[in-house]
């Protein structure tokens, strides 16, 4: 079964922000590269967020989230993906920053909502209400 691929457009980003609801901190309209995030720390002010990764064709590959304490931030989570080899196809990302004290369960639900709408190609399992939501694998 082949899944329809969504692209990372301003409209899809707006949809992702809308799905965050009252937990949304603010919209960050500019995309960033892996290097900007991991080396230049462009998102260093965000410790709680959902991030959306796209490839060179602007196809959404991954939707993830992070809830960090202390000095750890979104860039640290993205760096973990890079180190594990999971970010090989990612060329640009967008962030949906959430209010710092957003409960982790709500953050994961927001990630699940965004992923269910944007259908990232490389995400196999998304958080959902009550149990994991599995996406159809791409063949």
pLDDT in tens, 103-130: 999 999 999 999 999 999 988 778 864 4
The pLDDT of residue 3 is above 70: no
Sign of CA dihedral 112, 131, 106, 89: negative
pLDDT in tens, 27-84: 999 999 999 998 899 998 999 999 999 999 999 999 999 998 877 789 999 999 999 9
Structural domain boundaries in the chain:
10-123
C-alpha 53/C-alpha 63 separation (Å) is 6
89-96: average pLDDT: 96
C-alpha 18/C-alpha 34 separation (Å) is 24
Q: What is the pLDDT of residue 128?
A: 65
């Amino acid at each position: 079964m082949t899944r329809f691929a969504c692209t990372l457009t301003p409209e899809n980003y707006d949809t992702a922000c809308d799905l965050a609801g009252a937990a949304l901190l603010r919209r960050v309209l500019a995309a960033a590269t892996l290097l900007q995030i991991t080396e230049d720390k462009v998102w260093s002010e965000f410790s709680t967020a959902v991030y959306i990764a796209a490839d060179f064709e602007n196809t959404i590959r991954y939707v993830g989230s992070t809830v960090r304490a202390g000095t750890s931030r979104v860039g640290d989570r993205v760096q973990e993906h890079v180190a594990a080899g999971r970010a090989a196809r990612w060329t640009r990302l967008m962030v949906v920053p959430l209010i710092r004290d957003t409960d982790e369960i709500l953050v994961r639900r927001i990630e699940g909502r965004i992923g269910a709408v944007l259908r990232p190609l490389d995400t196999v399992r998304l958080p959902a209400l009550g149990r994991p939501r599995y996406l159809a694998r791409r063949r």
